[in-house]
Amino acid sequence: MRPTRIRHIVLWLTVAAYMITYMDRVVISAAVPVIQQEMGFDIVTMGWILAAFRWGYALFQIPGGWLGDRIGPRRALALIVTWWSAFTSFTALSWSATSMAAFRFLFGVGEAGAFPIATRSLSRWMLPAERGYAQGITHAGSRLGAAATPIVVVTLIAAVGWRWTFVLFGSLGLLWAAVWYWYYRDTPDEHRSVNEAELDLIHGALGGSKRRASPSVPWARILRSGTLWRLSAMYFCYGYCLAVYLDWFPKYLNEYRGFNLKQMGLMASLPLLAGTLGDLTGGWASDIWAKRSGNLKLARKGVAMAGFLLAAVTILPAALTPDAYASVAWTCLALFGLELTVGVSWAVPLDIGGDYAGSVSAVMNTAGNVGGALSPAILAYLVQAYNWEMPFLLASALCATAAGLFSMIDSTRRIFAPEEAGHVH
């Protein structure tokens, strides 16, 4: 009997969720010039509004990952996607800087659990040999959503205004949450459409555990992992750098590089499309390398270090060239390199965390998003005190630091031995 491929449908549903997370967070970035014009916000005020989302997102990573491990990803993802989609739409009701920051903070609280819970949702479905690819394609989905959004937002703003644009984007998540709850199951054994051949394939690769959710998460054991802390420091650097491009790149193109609003939408999308290609390439290359060499540690490390070093080198000419189009071209290379690291970074929590991958990835993503939360306000102050070049010079230095940190990460150093999974309390 040929195995069914229900795990791949689960993967594509997860890809759609990742797309929606980034679409909803990039709406405001593309709308910044219009919002500033209507509401009268200066660059520092706007920086703190953008940071509000990221602080909510960072602070609730670990509670979000815990929720997925505790009640299972089926219920947890349906719940949080509904929450954040509502607050995406509620952003349209903003009447002041404080109210907009509050809506964005609560939106961030909802989105916080998305990646850790989604990682947990795949941990009982995806084969180890598919994990790098799975993490690469899910994150590629998020960047593809981010890449498409600026063009869509600029078009919608021209047609219905920025407030209705937020309402329309929020409605997408509500539809996804309903489909997810209807179709997904926490383990393959619970899904009626999975045949015996696919169950045997998954159980053979994962050890056959049918545990749904852990009664308790062994935080003391998790937090003693040196690999996890190196992973988290690396992801802090990554998160800071990514936020520079997600939150401020459209504004940079409009204000510093002189592109009009329509041109800005297209030029802001191109580096994110390059990043999408990086996501797909990184996870795939790491899995192929691991399969052919049998050296998982080197396969994860080699791809990630190459990506960070490429980003560190190419950010410099992107920031310093006087040619606006050359700047965008160099930024495409930089984002390709930066995103080359993502599938690998998110495969490592699956490699070392097993059934606690949601909680492990939540710690990593908390660190990344503390970096991301610091980034918008720091950039605003750097631009105000120096110029638009300074934030990118800092980003280049952080990418070089991340490459050094990844050189010390061993993805074969598991926090729990396979026989311990599901029995540690």
Pair of tokens at residue 383: 């631009």
The three-state secondary structure class of 340 is helix
In 321-389, which residue ranges form alpha helices assigned H by DSSP?
324-340, 342-353, 357-385
Contact 366, 61 (CB under 8 A): yes
For the chain, the domains span 6-206+217-420
Tell me, what amino acid is at 112? Answer: A
**First CA to last CA distance, the chain:** 39
Instruction: Measure the CA–CA gap between 81 and 19, rounded to whole angstroms.
Output: 12
- pLDDT tens across the length of the chain (425 residues): 788 888 888 888 988 888 898 888 888 888 888 898 888 898 889 888 988 998 898 888 778 877 887 888 889 999 999 999 999 999 999 999 999 999 999 999 999 888 778 877 887 887 777 776 777 788 778 878 888 888 888 888 888 888 999 999 999 999 999 999 999 988 888 888 888 887 787 777 776 544 444 557 777 888 878 888 999 999 999 999 999 998 888 888 988 898 887 788 889 889 988 988 888 888 778 778 877 877 777 788 888 899 999 999 999 999 999 999 999 999 999 999 999 998 788 878 877 877 677 778 778 888 998 998 898 889 989 988 888 999 999 999 999 999 999 988 877 777 766 545 444 33
pLDDT per residue as tens digits for the range 35-51: 988 888 988 898 889 88
pTM for this model (two decimals): 0.74
Tell me, what amino acid is at 1? Answer: M
The domain defined by 6-206+217-420 folds into Growth Hormone; Chain: A; (1.20.1250)
Instruction: Measure the CA–CA gap between 211 and 77, rounded to whole angstroms.
Output: 18
Instruction: Measure the CA–CA gap between 367 and 281, rounded to whole angstroms.
Output: 24
Residue located via tokens 């490390």: 301
